[in-house]
Amino acid sequence: MVEPSIDDKLSRRQFVGTAAAGAAVLGAGALLTPKLVGATASAKLMAPQSASVPAPAQAEVPTKWDSTYGVIVVGTGHPGLAAAVEAYDNGATSVTVIEKEAYLGGTSQFAGGNYETPLNFISAAAGIQDTFGLCMSDYLTLGQYRNNPALLASWFRNANDSALWLQNMGIVWNPVPAQQSDESVARTMNVEQSPNYPMTGATSALMTGSATIYVMAQALAKRNVSIQCGKRLTQIYRVSGGPVVGIQVLDVPTGTYSNWQATKAVVLATGNSTGNPQMMASVDPQLDEVYQQMGAPYVHKTGDGHICAAEVGAGFIDMEYTSLGFVYGTNRNVGPMAVLLTPQNLTAALTTYHQAGTISGGGGAPGAWGILVAGDGNRFVNEGIWGTTTIPAIMSANYQAYFQIPFRPRNVWVVVDSNGAKALGASWNATTIQAASTSDVAPYLESSMVAYSNTIAGLATQMQIPPTSLAATIARWNGFCTAGKDSDFGRPAPLNPISTPPYFASALQLEASQVAGGIRVNTKQQVIDCQAGLMASGPSAAVALDNEPVIPGLYAAGECTGGFFGVNRASGKIGCYLTQGRIAGINAGQAASNV
């Protein structure tokens, strides 16, 4: 049975002239063979972060189910909640959403103000001339032409309707569109303050993520659709050669497993895999440590959906393209402004904000004042290049210098003196550094990741770096400053000495924030059955994306998917993810029963 397209459901006026463009484009792109799909790997990767639990049960379809639903959505970010609302509104009267964390929203709740919306009504009202072709050109250029145009076209056709859909739920849009660096024209929308989502103290530029999660969660509550936190996907059940019929769920607090039947569909909205070191290293061997994730410590992006989907026939595309960045002095990275929401209390939590903890002053970067030292106390790079990026960022000189550090952990620090601290910003002071702790309070700095001392030896001891080595490095650097030339790495002027106590240091931590690729899907967000495709395909068997075989009853949306953004997702894509979720939900809700 051919499931209905979102375009059959969404009948409002679209700002599109040639919606069919790109519909016949082939589903080309690098297909990664999953390296971590066996039962042993799955059991190891699926274990909760804080406990040792029994391995998940075997993949045979259960003869008895502990719970039964029409549609099960995995993940409570923008695509997950949108999918749940649409699944319910399109015929799935029994819908549930599961979330492995204690809070709902995933990293979506930490998203700032940018909601990119091709061909939207706000831009049109402002007289901005956006076109289908211009959108396609912008995003293909951003993705270095590794994007699939058919997937982009699906987003473009439905993006404006998704913005109106949120508006009907209570979102109030700023009437002035913004323009991001990857846009030829202003097509980014932002949320305005409204009593519909009472967020005391938040600014409109910082609350798009939390506000949109809030209104969708409220919409689900009105529909009596349950959101169940502390429930982790550990297995997808598929009839051999047939449909997906359910999932295995781990109750995180108790460590117990149960089997849930899905009589229509399962929708994966499980986020990316940046919190799974084994998966990261499998696609890029340079990523050989545990890296910080966006949303830490409240979100763990462990690739659960990827692994479970691969075990039933899914494949991946462009997983090797990872967006990287550095944070300083903290293990907390939750965005500029966020709230922690629970299904039980969606109102009171809106005044509880959790901000990012990175030390201020160029994001903590050395700027013109500091030097960067590795764990042996030696400089390793021209600090003047720090902060420069290319696409993909991993190829830029500063990242290459970081990855070439030979020992593990790399233990890299920014070191400045009191003059540099004053120049870098308010966070670089004794009071702030000494107040750092592991508790969830401002300024959100980790005591083990910042250092302060009146002596170089004292600073080195706190940094766990050999004092003699650090002293020699600083003395050599000060000599270069006097001579006006960096003879080691060619850092350009100005060269400022590190000679005036007290001395400060902040540890760097590499953040793997986004993976541009993920699970392969078609324009209906159906997961493509890559095993069936490989078995059936010959040397000349290329087919259009929407003609590839799919895994019946399995959909995916959001950061867990690939093909939309090529090598670079960039920021502001929550609108795309939400639209993907709506497409998945509509098709899942309208799907025929598998029983």
189 burial via Cβ count (<10 Å: 0-12, 13-18, 19+): buried
pLDDT in tens, 267-285: 999 999 988 989 998 888 8
Q: Which of 128-132, 238-242, 397-401 has the lowest mean pLDDT?
A: 397-401
Q: At what angle do helices 39-46 and 304-311 cross, to 10 degrees?
A: 160
pLDDT in tens, 172-193: 999 999 998 889 999 999 998 8
Classify 411 in phi/psi space as left (phi over 0), alpha (psi -120 to 50) or beta. Answer: left
Q: Any idea where the domains of the chain sit in the sequence?
A: 27-321+516-590, 357-510
pLDDT at residue 19 tops 80: no
Confidence of residue 10 (pLDDT cuts 50, 70, 90): very low
Q: Which of 38-47, 75-84, 192-201, 337-346 has the lowest mean pLDDT?
A: 38-47
Q: Which residue in 523, 544, 546 sits closest to 154, CA to CA?
A: 523
Over range 443-458, report the average pLDDT: 88
pLDDT at residue 76 tops 90: yes
pLDDT in tens, 21-49: 323 222 333 322 222 222 333 333 333 33
What are the residues facing 268 on neighbouring strands? 74, 556
Task: Write down the pLDDT at residue 195.
Answer: 85
Classify 362 in phi/psi space as left (phi over 0), alpha (psi -120 to 50) or beta. Answer: left
Average pLDDT taken over every residue of the chain: 82
Q: What is the CB neighbour count within 10 angstroms for residue 179?
A: 14
Task: Write down the pLDDT at residue 46.
Answer: 34
pLDDT in tens, 562-573: 999 999 888 889
Task: Write down the pLDDT at residue 20.
Answer: 29
Q: Which residue in 365, 293, 336, 345 sits closest to 511, CA to CA?
A: 293
439 burial via Cβ count (<10 Å: 0-12, 13-18, 19+): exposed
Which token pair is 492? 């350009």
Task: Give the CATH number of domain 357-510; options: 3.20.20.70, 3.40.47.10, 3.90.700.10, 3.10.20.30.
Answer: 3.90.700.10
Q: Which residue in 279, 334, 343 sits closest to 80, CA to CA?
A: 343
Class of CATH domain 27-321+516-590: alpha beta
What are the residues facing 339 on neighbouring strands? 353
User: How far is the C-alpha of 53 from the C-alpha of 50, rounded, in Å?
Assistant: 10
User: How far is the C-alpha of 41 from the C-alpha of 474, rounded, in Å?
Assistant: 46
pLDDT in tens, 228-239: 999 999 999 999
pLDDT at residue 309 tops 70: yes
Q: Where are the beta strands (DSSP E) in 433-575?
A: 450-453, 503-515, 518-520, 526-528, 550-556, 561-562
Q: One fold for both 27-321+516-590 and 357-510?
A: no
pLDDT above 70 coverage of the chain, percent: 79
- Give the global pTM: 0.86
Residues for the chain: how many in total?
A: 595
The type of residue at 89 is D
Over range 13-24, report the average pLDDT: 27
Task: Write down the pLDDT at residue 6.
Answer: 34
pLDDT at residue 316 tops 90: yes
**DSSP code per residue over 364-411:** G--TTT-EEE-TTS-B-S-GGGTT---SSGGGSHHHHHHHT--SSS--
Find out whether 262 and 247 touch, Cβ atoms under 8 Å.
Answer: yes
